[in-house]
Amino acid sequence: MNLRTLSRTWAVPFLLTAVGATATGAPPAKPEPASTAPAVTERDGSHDFDWEIGTWATSVKVLRNPLSPKAAWVEFNGTSVIHALGGGRANLVDLDVSGPVGRIQGVSLRLYNVQARQWGLNFANMGDGLLTPPSVGEFKNGRGEFYGTDTLRGRTILVRFVILDVTPDSARFEQSYSADGGKTWELNWIATDRRLPAKP
């Protein structure tokens, strides 16, 4: 996923001399004017998460046993604390939420790839301490979309993580799984965050 094919096109100039042009009376060819189109500047997304730095009240709905007939939603509430790292090109999310069925503690390390101009989201559940494969993507028009792969019950699946409805004081996060190569998606994580005032 997120593989890119790099193609290069070589332009070979062909020089046509005007030998015999005077004999035919044909005027010499005029050179093509240089292109005046402005150069395309790629977007720098290294500060796409600046809005999120701080402490948030987090409400989470999690689909237990996703992609199975036993799937059922459960709810958790708690906090997310986001710390800036590396001058904004990285940040760390410290998630701690609890509900009737238990507690979820996790960390997400987000890293900005300067060359690709994309973010990699790496999550670890403190219940097992294992880092999941990263989801990679970017923000466009205020919406972040990130894709990756993971393993569920021994089977490789696709993962889609979306950040939407972003304001200075609120945001929504959705995660979905696909077991059919992205033809269909099942939502399994919905988190809504509301910013808490900074402690004096």
Task: Give per-residue pLDDT as tens, 92-124.
Answer: 999 999 999 999 999 999 999 999 999 999 999
Question: Over 70: is that where the pLDDT of 157 sits?
Answer: yes
R_g over Cα of the chain: 25
Helix, strand or coil, per DSSP, at residue 11 = coil
- DSSP strand E in 114-198: where? 118-125, 130-131, 135-140, 143-152, 155-167, 170-178, 186-195
14, 29 contact by CB (below 8 A): no
Report pTM.
0.79
pLDDT at 103: 97
143, 151 contact by CB (below 8 A): no
Domain ranges of the chain: 50-195
State percent of the chain over pLDDT 70. Answer: 80
Q: Residue 86 has which token pair?
A: 């590396």
Assigned CATH class of 50-195: mainly beta
State percent of the chain over pLDDT 90. Answer: 77
Q: 35-51: per-residue pLDDT in tens?
A: 566 666 788 999 999 99
